[in-house]
Amino acid sequence: MSVDISDHLPIFCFLPCSKKFKRSTFSYRLIDETTIALFRSLISEISWESELLEIDPNKAYNSFFDKMIAGYDNAFPQHSVTKLSKKLGNHGLMLRLSRKLKKISNVPHIH
């Protein structure tokens, strides 16, 4: 960067940046044709008679919902994956500073 004599000299700020290792756990459910077929099979085997005979609609819905969720959890079990990711401290601030410095260095200078 070239600088002329001026009272408007650039000011640089260097922030300490340490690597942080963070464990991230992700949960997912495998949903494909096989598991969808299993889910359909499981809910077709459920007896819905108690829900049909229930007078209270809230109780009927809660019972229906519980049975559907149980079938869903059986057909599509949750799997967890843990990853160790490297993150830089103050990454967002450092990124903005480096962009600003690039922008300043590309400004044409008049001599």
Predicted TM-score (pTM) of this structure: 0.54
Residue 67 tokens read as 């049975």
90 — alpha (psi -120 to 50), left (phi > 0) or beta? left
pLDDT in tens, 21-77: 677 788 888 889 999 999 999 999 999 999 999 999 999 999 999 999 999 999 999
Q: Which residues face 19 on adjacent strands?
A: 88
What's the CA gap between 52 and 2, in Å, rounded? 82
Residue with tokens 């300490």: 16
Give the Cα-Cα-Cα angle 57, 52, 50 (nearest 5 degrees): 100
- The label of the residue with tokens 């990853």 reads 83
